[in-house]
Amino acid sequence: MTRKATYQDLIEYCKTDWQQYIEHDFVKKLADGSLSMACFKHYLQQDYLFLKHYARAYALAVYKSPTLDLMRKSLPGVTSLVLEEISLHIDYCKDWGLNEADLEALDEDVATVAYTRYVLDKGMQGELADLYAALVPCAIGYAHIGQNLSKIQTINNPYQSWIDIYAGEDYQKVAQQQADFLDQLISEVSIDSQRFNQLADAFKTATRMEIAFWQQGLNQQ
Ligand SMILES: Cc1ncc(CN)c(N)n1
């Protein structure tokens, strides 16, 4: 009998892309504080737009849930994004001279459109597991990045507070919950099945979109 899949198998399936995502030059420059402010500002602006669509994707997850029990698992994703993570992001952006009205008026850059619409389309076409396979690289990847960067000591790093958010206990806990829920959704999928490959392709594409999102920020220099 073959083994059943976990999210770790999805990371393993795309491990080269995964490394490029969590060790992207943008991330390295955040870590040592050398990232240009223009790059970071563009990233923050686009991330506001990204997070709004992410909230829509969690709302789609509620819609795609066949049982009340599954709905209960996705609903906190909508409320925590809309009421907490995006509000925190808006507060954070104020320190960088960006207010909510400015953020709302922004045009979406191409990697923002590509990534968010890909996730929404996966969810609309597929089942709940397909949607989560495309959603979860966001949470797990940033949790890994937060852990990695918190081990690096820098003095007067302007990006330290950003690192602290993703290294913090709250974010780590939310990311682990997302990973655990994906594990639950794929618990009957064998690692050598066609279904595993479908899910792994969605996970891999979202991971590639994360790389493009970092690169979009870096291209501003
Ligand atoms: C593009 C992106 N990916 C992930 C995260 C972490 N929630 C984020 N804020 N933005």
Which structural domains are found in the chain, ordered by start? 7-21+38-218 (1.20.910.10)
**Collapsed DSSP state (helix, strand, coil) of residue 126:** coil
**pTM to 2 decimal places:** 0.96
Helix (H, G, I), strand (E, B) or coil at 5: coil
In short, whether 26's Cβ falls inside 6 Å of ligand 1 is no
pLDDT tens for 125-164 read 999 999 999 999 999 999 999 999 999 988 999 999 999 9
Taking the C-alpha atoms of residue 134 and residue 152, their distance in angstroms, rounded to an integer, is 29
User: How far apart, in whole angstroms, are the C-alpha atoms of residue 41 and residue 131?
Assistant: 29
181 touches ligand 1 (CB under 6 Å): no
- Give, using CA atoms, the residue closest to atom 10 of ligand 1: 47
Number of Cβ within 10 Å of residue 64's Cβ equals 19
Is the distance from the beta carbon of residue 50 to the nearest atom of ligand 1 less than 6 Å?
A: yes
Which of these ranges, 87-91, 111-115, 216-220, has the smallest mean pLDDT?
87-91
21 Cα–ligand 1 center, Å: 12
Token look-up 């495309």 returns 134
Prediction ipTM score: 0.98
- Reported as a pLDDT band with limits 50, 70 and 90, residue 43 is very high
Tell me what percent of the chain is helix, strand and coil, each rounded to the nearest 5. 75, 0, 20
Q: How confident is the model at residue 199 (pLDDT cuts 50, 70, 90)?
A: very high
pLDDT at 137: 98
